[in-house]
């Protein structure tokens, strides 16, 4: 549960955490391999190894433009998007 302040002078509300919106690094699966987190240096480094001619910041920018889906990022970096 997390606490969220509603308005000034009111009590805190307890909201349940949604496990579907949280990324657990210890659980690997198909959904994890389909997405890229631009804040994870290991995932950016992995893409950089696949595209060594691209600067790491270019890869981070590609993730922001193309979205988190690995397939879209690959297409964008290959110039096909």
pLDDT digits (tens, 9 = 90+) for 6-62: 556 555 555 555 444 445 566 666 677 889 998 999 999 999 999 999 999 999 999
- Among all chains, which residue has been given the structure tokens 């696949």? 50
> According to the model, what pLDDT value does residue 18 have?
47
Per-residue pLDDT for 2 more than 70? no
Q: Where are the domains of the chain?
A: 28-81
> According to the model, what pLDDT value does residue 20 have?
42
């Amino acid at each position: 549960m997390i606490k969220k302040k509603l308005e000034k002078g009111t009590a805190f509300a307890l909201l349940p955490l949604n496990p579907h919106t949280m990324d657990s690094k210890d659980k690997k699966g198909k959904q994890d391999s389909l997405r890229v987190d631009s804040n994870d240096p290991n995932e950016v480094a992995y893409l950089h190894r696949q595209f060594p001619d691209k600067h790491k910041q270019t890869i981070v920018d590609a993730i922001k433009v193309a979205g988190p889906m690995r397939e879209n990022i690959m297409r964008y970096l290959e110039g096909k998007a």
